[in-house]
Amino acid sequence: MTLATMRGRAAAWVWDVDIRSLRGGRRFLIAVLRIGHALATALVDGQLTLHAMSLVFTTLLSIVPLMAVSFSVLKSFGVHHQILPLLVQFLSPLGVQQSADAARRIVVLVESVDVGLLGAIGVGTLIYTGLSLLHKIEMSINAVWSVGTPRRLGHRVTNYLSVVVVGPLLIGISVALTALVLNTAGARGLLEIQPFGVLVLWGTRLFPYVLVWAAFSFIYAFVPNVPVTFRAAALGGLVASVLWQTSGLLFGAFIATSVSYAKIYSSLSIMILALIWLYTSWLILLMGAQIAYFIQNPRRYLLHPPVPVVLSNRLRERLALSIMLLIARGHHENRPPWTVSGLADHLDLPAQIVQKLIDLLRLERWIMQTSDDPGGWLPSRDIATIEVNELIRSIRRAGERGLPPRTAEPIPATVDRVMETYREAADAALSGTTLGDLLREADGKGENQ
């Protein structure tokens, strides 16, 4: 049996069955294999790795300013020393001594930043540099979720400042309260009573894993500029946390058994290994976001093999007109405005395709976005005044760039005459027909809403 035959049979076993008809263990196994196949396709495509490398570069520029702002908040609560154990925990795959040295150097560098001596411009630059990392994270996860429209500036500033200021504040309060409670005489006496002591011991061992899971799930739930279900965020966070912990163990074992990096790079070995681990961590974060996206959008990734959609001119016009009609109907019937994710689910299309068509209609000024977050879409003017031939003509010519056609030669002149005849025929067939007329026609035929 050849390798191609084996791959064909494996693909048939995974895809040539309706997963909705399965139950039990095989349904779960097929779902996992299909998500794994879709994730491998996304990795081979290269976008996840590009975003991960971009985040590594931004992290190197932003980590000290971001930690400096958070450090100043934690310092006011007297728990700023908790930064060191957190960094040691994150860098633990580098080895016990290496992670402690690297974390100590970062903390010393952060402590040397005196915010009070920087002045208004320096503080502004410090905050901007730190917030740029959060902005890059949002852009990368939005790209994974096929969200082309970022949050509005006001929402971004509010969310980023809450992460930089409120996040460390909550950490400081929780650490202080935990230390206060555990140091009381009643708590110490309770720990001596079994099984409470054993439960607390296991709880302290499992707490880092639960904390990583909660952190990943929080990022997947609130960072994308699109509503994310709790199930998708939690499952994506669970897979990412398991991958992160497993990769940390494998990375640590590799470093412990290999001395080639230290011999080749000498004193730079810690920096090189830290960059590799940082890249691995960002890649795992984006993989978890991709899995959360697959779980929330199963129709294109679980029901049939993912096939790339290529838009011809005819298909682009058809889909853009369909989207315009859906937006017009929703507005006419006083329904909540359509979002990109809602349109993608309704039309069973990839969100990135819908986003491209929405961008086309927006640039041609047929639709406008609401102020919600994420924003919905409305017609930019009364649908009774939008003529269909004008709409289709603008969709057809959207994105045209370059030199105007030459008409002096016989062949271009003939082509231009054919195109003009075609346009005049289309205009005559649709003359006076508006988007409102199409909507009434569709509703009169009882088309699916």
Q: Which helix (H) or strand (E) holds 377?
A: strand 377-379
What is the reported pLDDT for 180? 55
Is 250:178 a contact under the CB 8 Å cutoff? no
State whether 266 and 329 are in the same domain: no
Which of 261, 296, 331 is a domain's end point?
296
CA distances from 133 to 69, 127, 160, 382 (A): 13, 10, 10, 42
What is the reported pLDDT for 287? 93
165 within domain boundaries: yes
What is the reported pLDDT for 321? 92
| Residue 80 predicted with pLDDT over 60 | no
What is the reported pLDDT for 36? 83
State whether 317 and 290 are in the same domain: no
12 within domain boundaries: no
State whether 146 and 234 are in the same domain: yes
26 within domain boundaries: no
For residues 431-436, give the mean pLDDT.
Answer: 85
Distance between terminal CA atoms of the chain? Answer: 50
State whether 257 and 318 are in the same domain: no
For residues 75-95, give the mean pLDDT.
Answer: 65
State whether 328 and 281 are in the same domain: no
| Residue 82 predicted with pLDDT over 50 | yes
32 within domain boundaries: no
State whether 277 and 321 are in the same domain: no
State whether 207 and 318 are in the same domain: no
User: pTM of this prediction?
Assistant: 0.72
State whether 172 and 270 are in the same domain: yes
| Residue 323 predicted with pLDDT over 90 | yes
Give ∠ CA 140-144-145 in degrees, rounded to 5: 115
C-alpha to C-alpha distance for 190 and 77, rounded to whole angstroms = 27
Is 218:288 a contact under the CB 8 Å cutoff? no
State whether 374 and 259 are in the same domain: no
Is 102:274 a contact under the CB 8 Å cutoff? yes
State whether 288 and 330 are in the same domain: no
C-alpha to C-alpha distance for 221 and 148, rounded to whole angstroms = 17
What is the reported pLDDT for 185? 57
| Residue 102 predicted with pLDDT over 80 | no
For residues 267-279, give the mean pLDDT.
Answer: 76
The overall average pLDDT reported for the chain is 76
State whether 165 and 52 are in the same domain: yes
Q: Please tell me the least confidently modeled range out of 158-162, 192-196, 240-244, 356-360.
A: 192-196
| Residue 179 predicted with pLDDT over 80 | no
pLDDT digits 0-9 by tens, 381-424: 888 888 888 888 888 888 777 666 665 566 677 888 888 888 88
Number of domains into which the chain is organized: 2
For residues 257-269, give the mean pLDDT.
Answer: 61
Q: Please tell me the least confidently modeled range out of 60-64, 157-161, 182-186.
A: 182-186
State whether 186 and 290 are in the same domain: yes
pLDDT digits 0-9 by tens, 11-58: 777 777 777 777 777 778 888 888 888 888 788 877 888 888 888 888
307 within domain boundaries: no
| Residue 449 predicted with pLDDT over 50 | no
Q: Of the candidates 173, 206, 174, 212, which has an alpha carbon nearest to the alpha carbon of residue 90?
A: 212
How far, in whole angstroms, is CA 41 from its chain's centroid? 17
For residues 144-173, give the mean pLDDT.
Answer: 67
4 within domain boundaries: no
* Full domain range(s) for residue 253: 45-296
17 within domain boundaries: no
What is the reported pLDDT for 75? 64
